[in-house]
Each structure stands twice: as structure tokens, then as C-alpha cells.
Structure 1
Amino acid sequence: MSTTYRHEMPGGATWSATVPAGRSITVTALGPDANASLLLFASDRLDRLNLPDTLKAQMSACVRPPMTLMSDRGLALASVTHSTLAWHDCLTGFGHEAHLARFAPTSYQVDRNDWRRPARSELLLELAKYGLGEADLHGCVNLFTKVAIADDAAASLTWQAGHTVAGDTVTLRTEVDLLVVLSTAQHPLATFDHPVAGVEIAVGPAAPVAADDPSILFRDETARSLEMSRRVLA
């Protein structure tokens, strides 16, 4: 992929950009156990990522190629065209203050640039740049993170350490004009208390969607979501 934009995000940071349809967004983990919480909005704000519909329509409990990330109206906002990992978490959501409270107290006055903040706070600050707020938060995809069923009576979810190594990548193809928002804050179920790895973002042109595109052939519902996006752009 030729790259027209490249940005390196440290751990505990946020990033956002409006990305036109027909672009490829590759996110690369810069260290082990990276986590990047992803929100997606159509640029006209009529659609936003709907993970329950995305998972139900494509019979999955995680995000992986060649799934599409669907909106409230069933449009494909983006397609997962490539990933070195077969699992990206979309069940646990983003971290809150209570998740950080399990560890040692943290503040800017004490920790300066190492001050740790939950993804929820970071995402709200980023959304405010676009006139969006708390009501616009939705279920996120935690890129590079895997969760599994714990061996306990409650069958709770547990974070899987070692799922990601430096150099792991995931690539999305934008199917409509998007507002993309990312936070590299710690995953809410992570069991370690140290700075998380950063990620690199590379944006460039995507190849046209062919008739034998893996996402079109994956499931009827996936193909239908891509067709609905095509009609919106027509």
C-alpha cells in the first residue's frame, strides 16, 4: 500500500481523522499487548458503528477478516481486509476510571506525561473536537486485544496476555467517508500496571472492491452491507 499519511501514537494517547471512502487504514502495534480502542462514525453522522449488529449478522464473537464493521442502518462503514491476528475484542468496551482504580493512584501532578487516563475520558476529549459528546459514545473495537472465558463460576471474561507482539497489524478499508477515533489507553481487563504500547497509523489508497472480494463472498449479510454503502455513495 502506498502511504499518503503516517502517524505514530504513543500508549495512552488519542487520535482522530476524517478519512474518505476508498482508503486503507493500517494500524501496527509498536510493542507487545498493545490496545487501540476504535470508534467509527459516518462523516455525515447519520451512521455509527453498531457492534451487536456487526457480530450477529456475521456470526462472530470478535472482529476479524473479512468482516465488515456495520452501522445502525446496516451499512458497511469499513471492511477488515487483513490482520495478522484472528481476534480483535469487541465485547468488553473501553476502560473507565474504575478500571484504573485497581492500580496505584495516578495524576498529572505526580506522574507528569506518564499520567494514566482511561479510554472513556480520552475518547470524550477527542469527540469534543467535532461537537460530539457522551451520547455519541458507542461500543468500541479493541484492536490487538483478545478476551476469553475465565475458569470461574461466573464464566466471566479475562484478558489474554501475550496475544499481540510488536509488528502485528490490522488493515481496514473505508467503505464510506468516516470519522475515525482511536485511543491507546489500557484495556479495561488488563492485569498489568505500566505504560501500554503505542501504535502506528498509515493511510493510503485502497484497491477497488472487486466482484470476488473476500468480504463480498464471506456472508450474504456482509455482501449486503457493502451494497448498501455503494448505493449511499452512488
Structure 2
Amino acid sequence: MTASSTSTTAGAREHARAQEGAAAGTVRTRPVVPASAWPTPPDGVSPEDLVHAETVAGGGYTHLAVARGTHVRLTDLDGDACAHVLAFHAEQPWERLNVADTVKVQWQVYLTTGHLLLSDQGRALASVVADTSGHHDTLFGTTTRARNEARYGDGAAHGPSPAGRELFALAGAKHDLTRRDLPPSISFFQGVRVDDDGAPQHRGSAGAGAAVTLVAELPLILLVANTAHPLDPRERFTCTPLEVLAWRGDPTAPSDPRWDATPEGRRALDRTAAHVAARTARPTAGATR
């Protein structure tokens, strides 16, 4: 596209409209509206229940606000995505993901199916209900601009190797969150293990098609930055597209085996249920629905 082709309103319009048809991986995001038009809904999910659907290119980000009970599935489409995730209570965003408590309360640094994402109030923000990857990291957070500039030569949000903190800042701003509101994050699809000497070992990806599904136990704001892991040993910035789908569902209930799977998880879910009950108005006597 030459400079002259966008020097007029008509030219700029045609250039902008052409971006809609660009292939995933060459643009930052490629949303489909409505979500029900997504060509590959999850098995067993009605297209009408989809509330969010997009492909986030490598080096891109997304943000979404979802109701309690919403299922959110992240899929590493080509095998080199890295989904850095932050979660906030949508109704009181000062309550947010606490990675340290998520790890220590559950006695587990390697999250997978059955584990919870805990807030700084001891409540369950989300549950991991499906995981075909097993390659995740709760220890090393996301990348910084200084780190990416030193490693790749650029760390700006709109540069060729954007840092996760810069992408989170853009995503958070859409929900009136500032940099000081951004805690350490969890990342999915690029595995890290700590060896017997305490040294981190980057395990890379589980491969194309690996997916993780979360259930929102509270109304949530989710920020997702799809960018290279800070321990990725490759000299060149490498990150491939991430699919993000969300659909209507139900939160974990006391009848679900997950509720009593561990005493720590039960306490967190109990706190969550009590919080929801306290904020739910009792129907007025005689009111009609």
C-alpha cells in the first residue's frame, strides 16, 4: 500500500476495509461479529451460546468481560502461542488474580484441570475445567519492554516483538485499569519446570491444537496477551495465533465433584458462593417475573 493510496478519505477507507480479510497471524486480532458466526464452535456448544470469538495473532492481545458461569477456551492453533492471562472481578476490579496465593493455597505450582485461579480475597475467580496442554507457567510472569528491547531490539506494544506488560497496559486501559493495577500473570502453552537444583527449564509448547478451558466463577474482566514467554530461548521473537472462544454456561456448583476435590478448593468456592449470595437481592414478595 503506497502513501498516495491512503492520502484520500476513499483510499484510507479501502485500505481499512481490506484489513478485515487479512489472514490470522498477519494482523493483531481478527474478531468475528456476531460470535455465533464462528465457523468452528466447540463440540457440544450451540453457536447461539457463543458470546466471544476471535483469533489473536502472535504479538497481539484481547480483553473481554464475561458473566459468571461463562466458559472461556484458549487454543494454541499452530503450536507456538503463549497466552498470558490476568483476571479481575468485573464488579470490583481491585479484586484480582493473585498468582502467589493460587500456587501456595493449592500446594501446586503446575496448574491443570481441577485447579482454581484465586483472587487476593481468597475467592475462586475461575476454574480450569479442561486442559490438553499441561504446558503452563505460574512463576515467571510475562515480558517487560526493557527485557524485549535487550533481547529482540524492540518491546513496544506496536513493534515487531511486543512485551506482555505493554500489551496488558493497552488491554487494561479498555476497562479503566492502569499499569499499577496489573499484577503478575499466568501463562498458558509454554511450559516451565523447575529442576532439582531450583533452575527453570523451558519446555516449550505441547503442540498445535492444545487448549485450556476456564469457567468464570465470578463476573470477570480477562486480559490476554499473546506474546513470547520470557524464558523462550530462541533468538528470534516467535509467537503464533491464539483462538479465544467464550460461551454461556454455569459456574461450579456444590453438586459438582470439583467443589469438594480438595479442602483448599472447597474453602475458596465457599467464599465465592457466599460473596455472590450477599450481593444477590432477594425477590420482592408478590413480584412477578
TM-score, reference length from structure 2: 0.73
1:127 paired with 2:161, answer no
Other-structure match for 1:45: 93
Other-structure match for 1:93: 141
Measured in 1, the distance between the counterparts of 2:255 and 2:208 equals 32
Other-structure match for 2:189: 144
Call closer, same or farther: CA 1:208–1:119 in 2, change over 3 Å.
closer
Call closer, same or farther: CA 1:4–1:126 in 2, change over 3 Å.
closer
1:223 paired with 2:271, answer no
For the 8 Å contact 1:62–1:91, the answer to whether it is kept is no
> Residue 20 of structure 1 is aligned with which of 67, 75, 79?
67
Other-structure match for 2:201: 158
Task: For 1:146, give the aligned amino acid.
Answer: G
Identity %: 28
1:127: how far off?
1.2
Measured in 1, the distance between the counterparts of 2:107 and 2:146 equals 31
1:114: how far off?
6.7
For the 8 Å contact 1:34–1:164, the answer to whether it is kept is no
Task: For 1:34, give the aligned amino acid.
Answer: A
Other-structure match for 1:35: 82
Q: Give the secondary-structure state (helix, strand or coil) at the position aligned to 2:269.
A: helix
Task: For 1:86, give the aligned amino acid.
Answer: G
For the 8 Å contact 1:64–1:83, the answer to whether it is kept is yes
1:150: how far off?
5.6
What runs of 5+ residues in structure 1 fail to find an aligned partner? none
1:213: how far off?
2.3
Call closer, same or farther: CA 1:210–1:107 in 2, change over 3 Å.
closer
Task: For 2:126, give the aligned amino acid.
Answer: A
Other-structure match for 2:211: 169
Call closer, same or farther: CA 1:156–1:102 in 2, change over 3 Å.
farther
Other-structure match for 1:118: 163
1:208: how far off?
5.2
Call closer, same or farther: CA 1:198–1:214 in 2, change over 3 Å.
farther
1:58 paired with 2:106, answer yes
Other-structure match for 2:41: none
> Residue 71 of structure 1 is aligned with which of 119, 128, 134?
119
What runs of 5+ residues in structure 2 fail to find an aligned partner? 1-44, 278-289
1:157: how far off?
1.3
Over aligned residue pairs, what C-alpha RMSD do you find? 2.1
For the 8 Å contact 1:66–1:214, the answer to whether it is kept is no
For the 8 Å contact 2:252–2:258, the answer to whether it is kept is no
TM-score, reference length from structure 1: 0.89
Measured in 2, the distance between the counterparts of 1:147 and 1:208 equals 29
Call closer, same or farther: CA 1:115–1:87 in 2, change over 3 Å.
closer
Aligned length: 227
1:149: how far off?
2.9
Call closer, same or farther: CA 1:211–1:53 in 2, change over 3 Å.
same
